[in-house]
Amino acid sequence: MKPKVSPQVEAQAMKMAKGRQKTGQTKEQTKLIAQGIQKGITEYKKQQGIKLREIDKLRKQKAKQPENKNTETPDEITHSTPMTSLPWVLLTSSWIGFVAYIVWQHV
C-alpha cells in the first residue's frame, strides 16, 4: 500500500520541482522529480517522528525515576572558591590604565 501524502507535501514538492526545472524538461520528468521530493519529505518526517518518540520515551523514563538530590558522596563534592578578586583587579587595572592614558595625553 502506498503511503498517504498530504496535499501540502504534494504542493511543496511540485513547487520545489518546478523551481529546479531545466529548459527542455518534460512535465513527466518534473512529476517524477516531484515524486522523489515527496518520498524524501515523507522519509524525513518518519525519521523525525522516530527521534521524537525516542526523546519522549527517555523523558518519561526520567520522570518516572525518583529524584535523589544528594546522590554524590562527600568525596565527590569539590569545593571551589569563586574568584571574587578577579573582577576587582580588572576594574582597578582598567581605571589605572585610563588615568595613565589621560595623563599621558596632557603631557
Tens-digit pLDDT profile for residues 27-43: 899 889 999 989 998 89
Tracing cell 520522570 back to the chain, one arrives at: 63
Q: Please, what is the Cα angle at 82 between 72 and 87, to 5 degrees?
A: 160
Give one word for 78, left, alpha or beta, with left for phi > 0 and alpha for psi -120 to 50: beta
Q: What is the mean pLDDT of the chain?
A: 83
pLDDT band of residue 3 (cuts 50, 70, 90) is low
Q: Comparing 2 with 14, which gets the higher pLDDT?
A: 14
Average pLDDT over residues 63-80: 64
Cell of 104: 599621558
Tracing cell 587595572 back to the chain, one arrives at: 93
Longest Cα–Cα distance in the chain: 89
Q: How far apart are CA 46 and CA 54, in angstroms?
A: 12
